[in-house]
Structure 1
Amino acid sequence: MAESKNAGRPLSPHLQIYRGGLTMMMSIVHRATGIALYAGTVLLVWWLSAAATSDEYFDFVQRVFGSWIGLIVLFGFTWSLVHHTIGGIRHMIWDLGAGMDIPSVERGAKLTLAASIIITVVLWIIGFGVMS
């Protein structure tokens, strides 16, 4: 068998070549938020099922979601939903052919991250304001 001239080297760019950047991390986070939304949908189905089952079971689920760990999970789910939605809008803008130059891509990544955090916090402030 013939000896490869690429012996000892990767055949395609790999982790040794790439250096992490914001846009790479945003791509990974976009995928992770998509996975988190699947898990959050299971929690939503649990809550709706509890509402349809009985008052006692619904109160139990409400207590679980109202605990400190439940609130952290719900906050994370809210952020995942907002972040994934904004990321989807960003991808739709790219599909239209806009914002594909490197400075626009970097600016869009920063804007997506900042907007998702701000919108999530505002939604929770509004939510707690409505509850009180």
Structure 2
Amino acid sequence: MAQAPGKASNRPLSPHLQVYKWGPAMLVSILHRATGDGMALVGMPLLVWWLYSISAGPESYEYFLSWMNFYYLGYIVLVGMSFSFFEHMFSGLRHFVMDAGAGYELKANKMWSAAVPLLAVLATAAMWLYIAFKNF
């Protein structure tokens, strides 16, 4: 409802970010949104390009690989995409457990919120170490 000009409102203002104490749950929430956007905006076109290059023949696939090996920039993108996948997956599992009604206790919530980025880093490192050393 519109307020009359010159009349003060007694409605409470929304708290600003400075009011809240930074915590792991806030980090996980922001990372969940950022990784979801990253996978949608970068990962999906990359997946479509990869699938097209496979279907278009060896020359097209070689062109795709040349971009993925370009001064290791492709590896940086792929590591970022795999981190995004694992972080989004672990955060989604955390939300799945919370939707079932568990994990709302402050200590458990804080522990799982801190564990999500750590598990994502460990899973990303394990996957890329496996890829790097699978031929040895």
TM-score (norm 2): 0.87
1:40-75 Cα shifts (integer Å, max 9, x gaps): 121011011011112112101112112301000000
Identical aligned residues as a percent: 33
TM-score (norm 1): 0.89
Count of residue pairs the alignment pairs up: 129
Q: Which residue type is aligned with residue 100 of structure 1?
A: Y
Task: Find out whether 1:75 has 2:75 as its counterpart.
Answer: no
Task: Find out whether 1:126 has 2:134 as its counterpart.
Answer: no
Tell me what 2:116 maps to: 112
Structure 2 segments unaligned to the other structure (5+ residues): none
Indicate the SS of the match to 1:12. coil
**2:35, 2:88 → 1: CA distance?**
6
**2:135, 2:39 → 1: CA distance?**
24
Tell me what 2:45 maps to: 42
Comparing 104-113 with 14-23, which one deviates more in the overlay? 14-23
CA RMSD of aligned residues (A): 1.6
Q: Which residue type is aligned with residue 127 of structure 2?
A: L
Tell me what 1:17 maps to: 19
1:52-107 Cα shifts (integer Å, max 9, x gaps): 11211210111211230100000000010011001100000001111101111110
Tell me what 1:30 maps to: 32
Structure 1 segments unaligned to the other structure (5+ residues): none
Shift of 1:27: 0.4
